[in-house]
A and B are shown apart, each in its own frame.
Chain A
Amino acid sequence: MPHPPDAPIKQRLRTVRRRIAAATLATFVAAWLAVAALGKGGATSTTATSASSSGTSGQSDAGTSATQGSDDSGSTQSSDGSSSDNSSSSQSSQGGSVTTAQS
C-alpha cells in the first residue's frame, strides 16, 4: 500500500523489506513447483554424498531385445511395463564408474 510522502523512513524501509521477502518466497515456490511438475511430481528427496558414483544398472540386457531383438525396453514382460512415479536425487563426484550388464 502506498505511503504518504512524509511517512517515516523506517516504515518505508520495513515495507520494502517485506515486499522483497514476499517476492523472493513467491519466486522460490514457483520455481520449486515448476521443477516438480517437470519431474512429474514424484517424491523427490535430495541427499549429498561424497561417494564416487558407481552406478549400475542392474543386470540387464538387453533385454532388450530387440529383437528380435528387441525387447525391451528392458524389460521382461512383467517388468517392462512398469514405471514408477518416484524418483530420487543425490550428488556424487564427477567421473567414477558406470556398469553395463544384461538387462
Chain B
Amino acid sequence: MREHARTLEVFGGRVELRGAGRDAPLALAVAEALLRRMHAALTRFDSRSELCRLNADPRATVPASGLVRRLAAAVPYAGELSGGLVDATLEPVLEPERTAPVHDPRPATPDPQRNWAQVRVDGQAVSRPPGVALDSGGLGKGLAADLVADRLRALPSYAIEYLGDVRAAGAERTLRVASPWDDAVLAELPLADGAAATSGVTRRGWHLIDPGTSRPARTGIVQATALAPTGLEAEVRAKAALLAGPAAARDHLPHGGLLVLADGEVVSL
C-alpha cells in the first residue's frame, strides 16, 4: 500500500504528514489545517497569538480556546511526569549560548516554587499565578503531533515527522536516530505504534534550563532520545532524561531510548 504525504512549514520547522488509504488525502489536508491553526494560536513569536495574549493578561483566570486549554493541561502533566524538571512556566532561552556552561556537569533540579503545579484548566478558562507565562515550546510540539494523530487514526497507517520528532502507527518503520554532531545516523530502532522525541544541546546551543538555577543545564548528556506512546510524553521524557543527567536518565525512559554522553559514549536503554 502506498502512503500519501504532505510537507509543510510550521512552528519554525518542517512537518511531514504521511498516511495510507483512500481517505488519506482529505485526512492529511484536515491535519495540515489543524497544524496551521495550532501554530497561529500557540506561537510565542507573534504577540497576536492567543498564547501571547494569555501570557500578557493580568487576570488570574482567562477564558481560552480548546487548543490553549490543552496546552495548559500539559504543563502540570509535564511537571509531574518529569519530577519538575520539565517546567513550561520558565522563561525560554531564545538565544542560547554556543559554549558550554562553565560549571562541572551536574543533574538539573526542579524549581521549589513549582509554578507549573498551579496551572489549571477551569472549565473554559485557564488559571495560573499572575505573571506566570506558559511556554508552548516542546509541549506544543508534542501536543500538536498527538492531536494530528487523532485525526489520522482511522487510516491504515500514518506517520508524522515534526521538527525532529516522530509519531507513527499502523506500519513497521525504522526509526533513525541522528547523531548530535553531524548528519550521520547513530542508531536504528524499530517503531510501529508510538512516538519518539530527541532533545539535545549540540545543535541549537545550551537552551535547556536547569529549573533549580534558571541557568543553562550542563548535565553530562548532550542528546537524549525517548520512546513513548504519545508525542507529548516522548517530548517530556527526552528533555527530562537529558536534564536528569547520566545517573538518573534511565528513570525517565521507561519505554526505551538512547543517550549520548558528553564524552561521545552512546547508551541504549
A interface residues (Cβ-Cβ under 8 A, vs B) = 35, 38-40, 42, 44, 53, 55-84, 86-103
Contacts and interface: CB of A to CB of B under 8 A. Distances in A.
Interface string B83-126: 00111101011111000000000000000000000000000000
B137 A66 contact: yes
Contact of A62 (B14, B78, B164): B164
A69 B208 contact: yes
Nearest to A64: B138
Interface of B: 1-16, 18, 20, 25-26, 28-30, 32-33, 36, 39-40, 42-46, 78, 85-88, 90, 92-96, 135-141, 144, 156-157, 159, 161-166, 168, 171-178, 180, 183, 185, 188, 191, 196-200, 202-204, 207-209, 211, 223, 225, 235-236, 238-239, 243
A37 B144 CA distance: 20
A87 to B, nearest CB: 4
B6 A103 contact: no
Contacts of B7: 87-90
Contacts of A68: 86-88, 90, 92, 135, 137, 208-209, 211, 239
Contacts of B26: 35, 38
Nearest to A73: B11
